[in-house]
Amino acid sequence: MSETADEKLLKEAKELPWEVRLLHKNWKVRNDANINLAALCNSITDPEDPRLREFGPFFKNTVADSNPYVQERALDALIAYLKVADADSAEGYTKEACDVIAAKCLTGRPKKVEKSQMVFMLLIELESVDVVLDAMEKAIIKKVAKAVVPAIDIILQALRKFGVKIVPPKRILKLLPELFDHRDQQVRASSRGLTLELCRWIGKETVKSVLFEKMSNAMKKKLEAELVSVSGIARPSRKTRSEEEPVSEIVGTGREESVADAPEIDEYQLVGAVDILTPLETAGFQDGVPGDMSLEEIERRVGSLIQPHIVAQLKSAVWTERFKAIVSFKEQVESIKELDQSVEILVRFLCAVPGWSEENVKVQLKVIDVITHIASTASKFPKNCVVLCILGGYFGCIGKCVADMRTCARAKKCLTTFSEAVGPGFIFERLYKIMKEHRNPKVLIKGIQWMASAVENFGVSDLKLEDLLYFCKSMGLLSSVAAARNASIKLIGALHKCVGPDIKGFFSDVGPASLCIALEAECRENPFVSGAAVPKKTIKSLSFCLVVA
- Does residue 183 lie within any of the structural domains? yes
- Does residue 188 lie within any of the structural domains? yes
Are the C-beta atoms of 390 and 434 separated by less than 8 Å?
Answer: yes
Going by the DSSP 8-state scheme, the letter that residue 382 receives in this structure is -
Asked if 230 and 314 sit in the same domain, the reply is no
Asked if 41 and 114 sit in the same domain, the reply is yes
In whole angstroms, give the CA distance from residue 548 to residue 379.
15
Domain boundary among 183, 214, 239: 239
Are the C-beta atoms of 223 and 215 separated by less than 8 Å?
Answer: yes
Asked if 288 and 216 sit in the same domain, the reply is no
The pLDDT tens digits along the chain (549 residues) read 457 888 899 999 999 999 999 999 999 999 999 999 999 999 999 988 889 888 989 999 999 999 999 999 999 999 999 999 887 777 667 788 898 999 889 888 899 999 999 999 999 998 889 889 999 998 888 777 788 999 999 999 999 999 998 999 988 998 898 888 888 999 999 999 999 999 999 888 888 888 887 788 888 888 888 888 887 778 999 998 877 644 333 333 333 333 334 445 555 555 544 444 444 444 444 444 475 678 889 999 999 999 999 999 999 988 999 999 999 999 999 999 889 999 999 999 998 899 877 888 889 889 999 999 999 999 999 999 988 888 765 544 444 544 356 678 888 899 999 999 999 999 999 888 888 877 777 888 888 999 999 999 999 999 999 999 999 988 888 888 888 899 999 999 999 998 888 888 888 777 788 888 898 999 999 998 776 567 889 998 665 444 434
In whole angstroms, give the CA distance from residue 473 to residue 450.
17
- Does residue 255 lie within any of the structural domains? no
- Does residue 402 lie within any of the structural domains? yes
- Does residue 270 lie within any of the structural domains? no
Residue type present at position 233: I
What DSSP element (H or E) covers 256?
strand 256-257
Domain boundary among 239, 268, 298: 239
Asked if 183 and 289 sit in the same domain, the reply is no
C-alpha to C-alpha distances, 140 to 75, 213, 400, 426, nearest whole angstrom? 22, 21, 27, 49
Q: Which long-range contacts (CB under 8 A, 24 or more apart) does 168-176 make?
A: 168/129, 168/133, 168/269, 169/198, 169/201, 169/202, 169/265, 169/269, 169/270, 170/269, 170/270, 171/133, 172/198, 173/198, 173/207, 173/210, 173/211, 173/270, 175/137, 175/140, 176/211, 176/214
- Does residue 272 lie within any of the structural domains? no
Give me the domain span that covers residue 128.
5-239
Asked if 349 and 467 sit in the same domain, the reply is yes
- Does residue 297 lie within any of the structural domains? yes
pLDDT at 541: 66
Domain boundary among 206, 239, 272: 239
Are the C-beta atoms of 503 and 495 separated by less than 8 Å?
Answer: yes
Going by the DSSP 8-state scheme, the letter that residue 262 receives in this structure is P
pLDDT at 229: 81
pLDDT at 94: 78
- Note the Cα 164 to chain centre separation in Å: 12
Asked if 227 and 361 sit in the same domain, the reply is no
Pairing of strands 256-257, 249-250: antiparallel
Asked if 37 and 131 sit in the same domain, the reply is yes
Give the total residue count for the chain: 549
Are the C-beta atoms of 262 and 233 separated by less than 8 Å?
Answer: yes
Asked if 160 and 297 sit in the same domain, the reply is no
φ, ψ of residue 26 in degrees (nearest 5): -90, 125
Task: Look up the CATH number of the domain holding residue 443.
Answer: 1.25.10.10
In whole angstroms, give the CA distance from residue 424 to residue 445.
18
Asked if 66 and 199 sit in the same domain, the reply is yes
pLDDT at 543: 53
Judged by phi (left if over 0) then psi (alpha if -120 to 50, else beta), residue 127 lies in: left
- Does residue 169 lie within any of the structural domains? yes
Q: What is the DSSP string of 8-65?
A: HHHHHHTTS-HHHHHT-SSHHHHHHHHHHHHHHHHH---TT-HHHHHHGGGHHHHTT-
Asked if 36 and 109 sit in the same domain, the reply is yes
SS3 198: helix
- List the Cα angle 490/494/500 in 5-degree steps: 125
Report how many domains make up the chain.
2
Asked if 531 and 401 sit in the same domain, the reply is yes
- List the Cα angle 169/170/171 in 5-degree steps: 90
In whole angstroms, give the CA distance from residue 135 to residue 188.
20
Q: What is the DSSP string of 289-332?
A: ------HHHHHHHHTTTS-HHHHHHTT-SSHHHHHHHHHHHHHH
In whole angstroms, give the CA distance from residue 76 to residue 72.
6
Asked if 343 and 417 sit in the same domain, the reply is yes
Q: What is the DSSP string of 467-504?
A: HHHHHIIIIIIT-S-HHHHHHHHHHHHHHHHHH-GGGG
In whole angstroms, give the CA distance from residue 310 to residue 328.
7
